[in-house]
Amino acid sequence: MRAQTQAFMQRPTSTNDDRMNEQYRLVDAGEEGYGMYIADSRRLSTTLDAEFEGDVDNLVDATITSPPYADVKNYEADEELQIGFGQSYDTYLEDLRDVYRQVYDVTKETGTLWVIVNTIKKDRRVVRLPFDIADVCENLHGVTECEECGTRLKKHRESGRLDCPECGWHHDPIEDSWRLQDIIVWDKNRARPWSRKGQLRNVFEYILCFSKADDFKYDLDSIRIPDTKDFEPWWVQYPERYNPRGKTPNNIWTFTTPTQGSWGDGEVDHPAPFPSGMVEQIINLTTDESDVVLDPFAGTGSVLAQAEAMERKPIGFELSDEYAEMYEPRRKEVADEWKEESIEARQEELERIICKLRQLKFPRELTRRVRKEIGEDSLEALGINTVFQLSHELIDREKFDEDNLLMESTTYFVLDDGVDHRQEIATAAVNCSRVPPCSKFGIKANIKVVTVSEMERILADSWEWPDELYLYADDRYNETVGTMSVSNWGEYVRPTSLWRGQHAKNGYPPILSNLQAKIPDPERTGETLSLNDIHRLEGENDLEEIEPGQRALNSFGDE
Ligand SMILES: C[S@@+](CC[C@H](N)C(=O)[O-])C[C@H]1O[C@@H](n2cnc3c(N)ncnc32)[C@H](O)[C@@H]1O
């Protein structure tokens, strides 16, 4: 993007002296045509047409907006041009229909419209503004009469179709209107303290999500919640059940309404600013970098500022000079704040942790399945001595989408020398790795079954092995108990029953891996740590080296 300067550009006055055709000014967002137009949003098409030289059919990817709530508030802008204030409810809805139709016309086929709005109470009646707006958006051309005979059409309440009771003509307005996809509740986490009879304290608003077509941009992965603090306490025990990028959000979104920030001088009453996190969530969900985000009722430009910070191209319309001019300080504040909060970085960190846990749990789950398949529970009887779990690079995310695979590893089942059912274990291990639950771990697993002596030779021959591996013992795969030298491993595991007695538990063998994990299990500790806490713990380098015959020491001292 070009240097972000603020420029007020005057367009020549139109020859038509209708007030609606007056000058507009653009608060520049650094690229031709993008930024805040101080203009009437009913002139959206004409304005953008002029600015983008008619090339507007596929301009916008997502519109995020909150219109004036009927005639509730005077925004102190040009009273004749304001939508809502001073208008009858019907005129107000018709003006909204006009604006949302123009928004539809400049939106791509894959585009969406997000309307944040609430009910109002007037003359002791709840006015269903969100639902009236939904009706308007679903019938952008305001079709009410039969094209054949002029009779008033009757709306089929379930399908939304318009039927002529006289001649049977019918029309489905959704064909060239917005499609309501979802209704989300925005829990504002803060509200005016008052309530009255028949009206409790109001803490939520509606977020209406519309799409232009049935197939639209909607990347659920991009808004997964990567906060381990929000996870169930069992997440460490079942990492294969958690999406590596986090929890899917539900349809109640909690975002605290911002108080006026440093960008306001405290004198202008702010027109219901959106919380940045909420706008960020919608932008992530329905747009990509360089996409165009529109707000036809932009206020102080919360949506535009957030879009800009996230490398999207903003377009806004706002009547009030006073609000529009707050966009400049607002965009600076949002750009500074947003960098620290990036959801993607946290999702990647979570993915790293979940993938690690899955790889470390995998040999445990496989052992359980092998024991079951063979019908022998005792490790001693099976002669399973150690499992080496060698993690390779993570696989491309695109591959994950295709095959549900996230990573690749090699699992060596090491058996005591001289066991006679090696082939049976090998067959069972490969079979079990291919079916649930093991196949659900997202691991491309190479399974090998070898003896202790063979493993010693493999370790000696290959230069790929690190000098030390992390030991997981006592049926715990989430926290290493220390490191173990690879060259001495063969000494440590003999006599085999002593080795098993020291490190195996509950029928699970000790695991040696190149992955280091120190992820406390909330089911044991009673507390779920945040990603930051886990990161800090994993950074601590206080691991002991495990010597032959030494009881595994837990580095957290909670044995
Ligand atoms: C609910 S507020 C939007 C606040 C905005 N979401 C924010 O974060 O600042 C509605 C805005 O619509 C503006 N407005 C009213 N009529 C308009 C019109 N005809 N064209 C453009 N904006 C208009 C008002 O001035 C007001 O700022």
**CA-CA distance, 303 to 276, in Å (whole number)?**
8
Q: Provide the 10 A C-beta neighbour count for residue 557.
A: 6
**In angstroms, what is the span from residue 322 Cα to ligand 1's centroid?**
11
Mean pLDDT of 135-141: 97
Q: How far is the CA of 220 from the centre of ligand 1 (A)?
A: 29
pLDDT by residue (tens digit) across 300-333? 999 999 999 999 999 999 999 889 888 988 888 8
Helix (H, G, I), strand (E, B) or coil at 173: helix
Ligand 1 contacts CB of residue 102 (under 6 A): no
Q: Are residues 297 and 362 in the same domain?
A: no
Query: Who's near 398: CB < 8 A, 6+ residues apart?
Result: none
Closest CA to 179 of 235, 111, 262: 111
* Residues 224 and 369 occupy one common structural domain: no
Whether pLDDT at 510 is above 80: yes
Asked if 420 and 306 sit in the same domain, the reply is no
Looking at the structure, tell me whether residues 321 and 384 fall in a common domain.
Answer: no
* Cβ atoms within 10 Å, residue 312: 22
Determine phi and psi for 153, rounding to 5 degrees.
-80, 155
Task: Look up the domain containing 413 and give its range.
Answer: 349-539
The pLDDT of residue 96 is 98
Q: What is the DSSP string of 255-279?
A: -PPPPP-TTS-SSSPP--PPPHHHH
Q: In whole angstroms, what is the distance from residue 362 CA to residue 368 CA?
A: 10
Kindly state whether residues 354 and 399 are assigned to the same domain: yes
**51 Cβ closer than 6 Å to some ligand 1 atom:** no
Dihedral (Cα; 185, 188, 192, 193), 10-degree rounding = 90
Note the pLDDT of residue 272.
Answer: 67
Query: How many angstroms separate the CA atoms of 494 and 457, rounded?
Result: 16
Contact (CB, 8 A) for 59 and 109: no
Answer yes or no: is 183 within a domain.
Answer: yes
Determine the straight-line distance between the first and last CA of the chain, rounded to whole angstroms.
56
pLDDT digits (tens, 9 = 90+) for 89-111: 999 999 999 999 999 999 999 99
In a domain, 158, yes or no: no
9-33 residue pLDDT tens: 433 333 334 434 455 777 776 678 9
Q: Take residue 156 and report the two structure tokens written for it.
A: 């089929």
Please check the confidence at residue 7 and state whether its pLDDT lies above 60: no
What is the distance between the alpha carbons of residues 108 and 211, in angstroms, rounded to a whole number?
10
Which token pair is 49? 């047409």
| Residue 68 falls inside a structural domain | yes
Give the model's confidence band at 414: pLDDT under 50 very low, under 70 low, under 90 confident, else very high: very high
pTM comes to 0.82
* Greater pLDDT, 557 or 202: 202
Ligand 1 centroid – CA 93 distance (Å): 15
Residue 107 belongs to a domain:
yes
Q: How far is CA 189 from CA 120, 185, 333, in A?
A: 19, 12, 22
353 occurs within a structural domain: yes
In this structure, the answer to whether residues 248 and 390 fall within a common structural domain is no
Ligand 1 within 6 A of CB of 320: yes
- 135 and 244, same domain (yes or no): yes
Please identify, among 341, 365, 383, the residue that sits at the C-terminal boundary of a domain: 341
What pLDDT shows up at residue 260? 57
> How many domains is the chain partitioned into structurally?
2
**Alpha-carbon distance 241 to 248, whole Å?**
12
Could you tell me whether strands 204-211 and 292-295 are parallel, antiparallel, or unpaired per DSSP bridges?
A: unpaired
**Which of 56-70, 119-133, 137-151, 262-276 is the least confident region?**
262-276
The last residue of one of the domains, among 321, 341, 361, is: 341
Q: Tell me, what CATH number does 320's domain have?
A: 3.40.50.150
The pLDDT value given to residue 11: 38
Pocket test for ligand 1, best of 206, 318, 326, 330 (most atoms within 8 A of CB): 318
Is 319's C-beta closer than 6 angstroms to any atom of ligand 1?
Answer: yes
559 within some domain: no
Is the C-beta atom of 297 inside 6 A of ligand 1? yes
Whether 417 and 456 share a structural domain = yes
Q: Is the CB of 24 under 6 A from ligand 1?
A: no
Residue 297 CA, ligand 1 centroid: distance in Å? 4
Q: Is 450 within a domain?
A: yes
The two tokens of residue 147 are 């094209």
Side chain identity at residue 199, one-letter code: Q
DSSP assignment of 482-516 equals EEEESTTHHHHT-SHHHHHHHH-BTTB--EEES--
Tell me the C-alpha distance between 299 and 273, whole Å: 8
User: Cα(378) to centroid of ligand 1, in Å?
Assistant: 71
Give the pLDDT band of residue 201 (cuts 50, 70, 90).
confident
pLDDT given for residue 69 in this prediction:
94
Among 324, 341, 358, the domain boundary falls at: 341
pLDDT at position 230: 86
Q: Which residue's CA is minimally distant from atom 18 of ligand 1?
A: 40
d(CA 412, CA 465): 13
Quick: pLDDT tens for 531-550: 889 988 888 777 777 765 55
Say if residue 391 is in the same domain as residue 519.
yes
Residue at 378 is within a domain: yes
- The answer to whether the beta carbons of residues 276 and 64 sit under 8 Å apart is no
pLDDT > 90? residue 240: yes
Ligand 1 center to residue 296 CA distance, Å? 7
Give me ligand 1 centre to Cα 303, in Å. 12
- pLDDT of 4 reads 37
* pLDDT for residue 335: 87
Residues 221 and 94 occupy one common structural domain = yes
Structure tokens at 537: 């713990």
Nearest atom of ligand 1 to the alpha carbon of 95: 19
Is residue 460 located within the same domain as residue 416?
A: yes
- Asked if 333 and 391 sit in the same domain, the reply is no
